[in-house]
Every structure is written in C-alpha cells, then in structure tokens.
Chain A
C-alpha cells in the first residue's frame, strides 16, 4: 500500500474519532493513475497542498451523512445540506484530515503547505487529476451510522 493511502486511512480514522467519537473503517481502496477519477454526489470538501508534496484531498459525503455529522457536532440537524454550517463542517473535516496527513508526510520528508478548504455541492461532481503521480482512493464505512463516504487523494512528490 502506498503511504498516501495508508496516511489517508489513519487521518480519517483519527479525525472521525476526535470530532465525532465515531469509528470509520476502510472498506475499499484503490491506487493507480489509469482512468483515475473520483465521482461524488452531494457535498465535497477539498484541500490543496503545495511543496515537497503537491496535490489535493477530496472528501465526498452524501447530503444525509453531512447533515447527520452536523447534527452530531452541533446538537441540531440542519434543514438541508446546503446550509452554511454544513459547509463549515465539511471544510473543517477536510482541513483536519489534510492537516493530519501533512504532519505524517512531513515526518518522512515530504512537507507541504495547505491551502484553505473549498467546499462544493452538486448532484454530480467528477474530479480528474492532471500531473499527479499518485492517485489513492479509499471508501470508508461508519458502522454506527450505517453510512459510507469516499476520500480521493491526487498527489505528486518532488525529488
């Protein structure tokens, strides 16, 4: 397993545990650039990073899961996934996951600076990499909520 895939799994598990006291278990993963693309529907949080490691992390959740996580954190369920508090939450999740990954990659010599998170919402969001050398996809399951979500990382390492 590429270290990016491994670090994604560790970062997501850590953030879900810390923020929501939820266990997130990887149930599927894939690596490789051939036909690499990520397809999401609902809400996507992303953070770009630049430096010795460059790329971006995309975390895609369904509207229902996004609202459930917001309810768990804020105490009340947002009326819709379009609300600013949901976007704030998804941006924060993306920020924390990428921050955890940044710490781990820096420890093995690949430091990168993080850009602010971008949150996108739509019925179909397809992300295709350009210039990436690494594509890693992980599907996670949260057993307690009976929900799944996906995390795609596209990255390039500088020699």
Chain B
C-alpha cells in the first residue's frame, strides 16, 4: 500500500523556526513524557539521544491507537501520542486497576488522558519559557496503516520512548510552526 507522501518531505509553509526553538520544544517533550509516565504508571521511559525526526516537516505514521491534542498561540501545532493496542491495554490496566477485560473505550480513555497530560506538560513548560499557548481537547484516533501529514507547519519532532529494559515503545510526534 502506498501512503500519503510516504518517504517525502512536506512542503514547509513559511520560515522554519530557529534550531533553538525546535530544541526547546524537544526538551519539553522529553521532560513531559518522562514525568507523565513516571507519575501515572511508575514507568521509567528512555529515549534515544537522537530523535527519529527533528527538523523540517515530514509525513509520519500513526499506530493502532493515537491520542491527538492541538495547541494554538504564538506556537501552533499538534501533539500525537501513538502506541500499539497491547501497550495501550497494558497502560489502561495499570491506571484503571482492572485485571479483567477492558473495553476499547476504556483503553481510548486512558490513551486520551495520557495524551492530554503529555500535551499539558509540554504546553506548561513552553509557557514558562515565554510562549503563549492554548490547548485543544484530546481526541483518540484508531486505525490501521494510517499515514499522517501536518500541513502549513515548519517543523516536526518524532520520538520513540522505550520502557526501560524493554522493546515496547510509545511514539510522540509534535508538528508545528511559530508565528
């Protein structure tokens, strides 16, 4: 199956932000993700030193379950938290304290809430650094073989966060632009 813009960069709209701003956003993502997973799940997430993507916008894959929160202000864009179904269910079991059968809706609720907390952590840190931002509400997107692309953005950061000592991971993607 050929996917939207697969292997292609997305035409940036406007001047890209300075590398320092991209680094600021990246550091906020790293700190927020580490905090949220430690607080909510007691998990120690590790991220490779080098992001999978960091710079000009490109298309990006979504996974089976994806939380999405938009933000707007003098920095606008979207935060995606993506994971496979079994990891989403594992996180839901821990947070909901339910060892029995979980409904898809409960898993979506947990992924949506984690996305909300992740985006909130990023936005809060960016506000502390002088950005003016408003956050949208989270939605959860499910599907298979979804390829996404953010239009009119000037940068994209995509990181995988691995559970310590394991190979399972969540993917965080931030695409945006500065005014």
Contacts and interface: CB of A to CB of B under 8 A. Distances in A.
Interface of A: 43, 47-51, 54-56, 80-84, 86-88, 91-92, 95, 112-132, 154-156
Contacts of B96: none
B143 A130 contact: no
Contacts, number: 162
B140 A127 contact: yes
Given A91-B151, A116-B176, A127 B141 contact: yes
What secondary structure prevails in chain A residues at the interface with B?
strand
Contact of A51 (B13, B72, B150): B72
A130 B11 contact: no
A86 B71 CA distance: 25
B77 interface: yes
Chain B interface extent, by class:
35 or more
Interface of B: 2-6, 8, 10-11, 13, 62, 67-73, 76-78, 105, 108-109, 112-113, 116, 134-153, 175-177
18 contacts: A48-B70, A50-B136, A56-B139, A84-B5, A115-B71, A115-B72, A115-B136, A116-B151, A118-B151, A126-B141, A126-B143, A127-B140, A128-B105, A130-B113, A130-B139, A130-B140, A131-B112, A131-B116
A128 B142 contact: yes
